[in-house]
Chain A
Amino acid sequence: MNDEWRVALSRAVRDVFENLCFMLPTPTSASVPPNPDSLSRVVLAVDFTGAGRGSLHLTLPDSMIAGVASSMLGEDGPLELSEQYDAVCELANIVCGNVLPLIAGERAVFDLASPRVIATMDADLGDLFDASARVLMDEGLVCAAISLELAGAQGAA
């Protein structure tokens, strides 16, 4: 696992959830993270090409989706399920767009594919990725993982 990339992932997740959803990480000493294997989760994937080729996966509990979507859209009432999933797909897209410059540098140009839902339960991102990060919010545990093969010898920004 690449520790610099893990830090970049964690920062991107925190920034995006704070700015888009007004959700803040729980202080690490406040509680013990729930076991993600015990939750039904949704896994969102964003593939990308350009200065590097790879994929970012964002995993969050099903129970968070409605709240995340409502916060993003500023809606008090219930949203259609399709709108909820569209919202979290955009969230994954934005996390990906924010983490890539942190990893590959500000000059690296990437093309992001449309985000997609690839699993809705018990997905294990495990060791398949180059780096992963977990950010605990009051609303649940968010996991991000990235696989990335850089085209050139570009370092972190």
Chain B
Amino acid sequence: MSLNVLVVDDSPVMRKMVIRVLGMSGLPIESVHEACQGREALDVLARESAINLGLFDVNMPILNGEDLVIHIRAEPKTAALPVVMVSTEGSVERIERLKRLGAAFIRKPFGPEALLDAIICATGG
């Protein structure tokens, strides 16, 4: 199955880096969409029904990554979307909270193999 990915990060440089590593992962990527914060990500998800994977930063203005996942899980149309949270700050507490929301976690910096593992974890293989 090809992936239609939504990459959400308030840093354009980080979005570019995540997309670069995603491209190196060997996964079949059909399309990549970008958003700079959670509110914009919800708009993209409402517009692009083919999106089947989310890679979200945690710390973002307006609507952060954790709240974005809460919104996504509350919306029947997107409730089952596989999500990988990408962050520099990965305390055990935060990772446990994200797991309870059904999101995988990966700490920056990461390479293609680690991203692939996190995506497999999020998608259930």
- On A, residues with C-beta under 8 Å from B are 15-16, 19-20, 51, 69, 72-74, 83, 86-87, 89-90, 93-94, 96-98, 100-101, 106-112
Task: Give min CB distance, B88 to chain A, whole Å.
Answer: 3
Stretch at the interface among B12-20, B32-40, B46-54: B12-20
Tally B residues with Cβ within 8 Å of A.
Answer: 21
Q: How far is the CA of A99 from the CA of B79 in the complex (A)?
A: 34
Residues of B within 8 A of A19 (CB): 109-111
A101, B91: Cβ atoms closer than 8 Å: yes
Query: Which residue from chain A places its CB closest to the CB of B91 in the assembled complex?
Result: A109
User: Can you show 26 pairs from A to B with CB atoms below 8 A apart?
Assistant: A15-B109, A19-B110, A19-B111, A20-B108, A72-B13, A73-B13, A73-B16, A74-B20, A83-B12, A83-B13, A86-B12, A87-B13, A90-B11, A93-B88, A94-B109, A97-B87, A97-B90, A97-B107, A98-B109, A100-B89, A101-B90, A109-B94, A111-B59, A112-B59, A112-B88, A112-B89
Q: Assuming A97-B89, A111-B59, is B107 touching A72 (CB within 8 A)?
A: no
Contact indicator B20/A73 (Cβ below 8 Å): yes
Given contacts A73-B17, A90-B14, A94-B88, 12 further A-B contacts (CB under 8 A): A73-B16, A74-B20, A83-B13, A86-B11, A86-B12, A90-B11, A98-B109, A107-B93, A110-B89, A110-B91, A112-B88, A112-B89
Q: Are A97 and B88 neighbours in the complex by a CB distance under 8 Å? A: yes
Task: Say what secondary structure dominates the interface of chain A.
Answer: helix
Knowing A72-B17, A73-B16 touch, does A106 contact B91 (C-beta < 8 A)? yes
Q: Which residues 69-125 of B sit at the A interface, judged by CB distance below 8 A? A: 87-94, 107-111
Give B109 Cβ to nearest chain A Cβ, in Å.
4
